[in-house]
Amino acid sequence: MLPAMAGEASSGSVAEIIAGRLAFCLGPHTARTAVKTFSQKALGRGPETLTTEDFPKLGDALRPLLRTFVGRAQADILIEQIHRQLQREQGA
């Protein structure tokens, strides 16, 4: 099971928050690379431009990769945790 608090304390850009959460299962370098690659693929722009509103589309693009690493259920949980954290950060 993925820890609920992994990456919780990190604040920063949307891309940094996403990569921080993904680093738990992908490692930090692969997590940053995944955010960069999939933001380009899914949204057509770089990770530095990501907003909270972009995450549903980016999360859908990352889902197959995450399922490979952590399984379907944990991938879905991780994506939901990231989405909730981004929403909290936006409201703060």
Tell whether 5 is covered by a domain.
no
Tell whether 67 is covered by a domain.
yes
Both ends of the chain: CA-CA distance in Å?
Answer: 28
Q: How far apart are CA 4 and CA 15, in angstroms?
A: 19
* 5 vs 48, residue with greater confidence: 48
Q: Is the pLDDT of residue 7 over 70?
A: no
Number of domains into which the chain is organized: 1
Domain that holds residue 26: 14-91
pTM for the model stands at: 0.84
Tell whether 1 is covered by a domain.
no
pLDDT of residue 73: 97
Query: Where residue 4 falls among pLDDT bands split at 50, 70, 90?
Result: very low
Q: What mean pLDDT value characterizes the chain?
A: 89
Tell whether 68 is covered by a domain.
yes
